[in-house]
Amino acid sequence: MDRGLPDPSNFYGPILGCGGAIDGGWNWSKYCNADLDALAAKADSVIDPAKAEERLSLWSEVYMGVMKDAAWAPVFNEQRFTMKSARMGGADALYVDPVSIPVNYDYVFIKE
């Protein structure tokens, strides 16, 4: 199943599953839907690479159910700052491109 992408099960169990809805768990919202947990277990049991689409379809149902329950209201409001000395060299995009933050120091150098 590995297509170089994270597997849907990586996120559901710890963050949204009933097993993580405990003190000290990662399911901080304490969201628990036993029906979706059962569907997630069914989706996770599909391990045959020939049935990858079936697995993804089941996981899609799980996540659609989470959205229907409105378990979270995700808010993302991030600010990042990068400071650059006049002595530092390298393309300006290294310092301002959000894809490069944190700065890829392989391409940064000191100007003499």
- For 8, residues 6+ apart whose C-beta sits below 8 A from its C-beta are 43, 56, 59, 62, 63
pLDDT for the residue 11: 86
Element at 69 (helix H, strand E): helix 52-69
How does pLDDT run across 69-97, given as a tens digit for each residue? 998 777 776 776 677 788 988 888 777 76
**Contact of 36 with 30, CB cutoff 8 Å:** no
Q: How far apart are CA 78 and CA 100, in angstroms?
A: 15
Predicted pLDDT of residue 108: 85
Tell me: pLDDT of 54 over 60.
Answer: yes
Is the model's pLDDT at 1 over the cut of 70?
Answer: no
- Over residues 16-33, the mean pLDDT reads 93
- Residue whose C-alpha is closest to residue 38's, from 17, 20, 55, 53: 17
pLDDT at residue 99 is higher than 70: no
In percent, the amount of the chain with pLDDT more than 70 equals 88
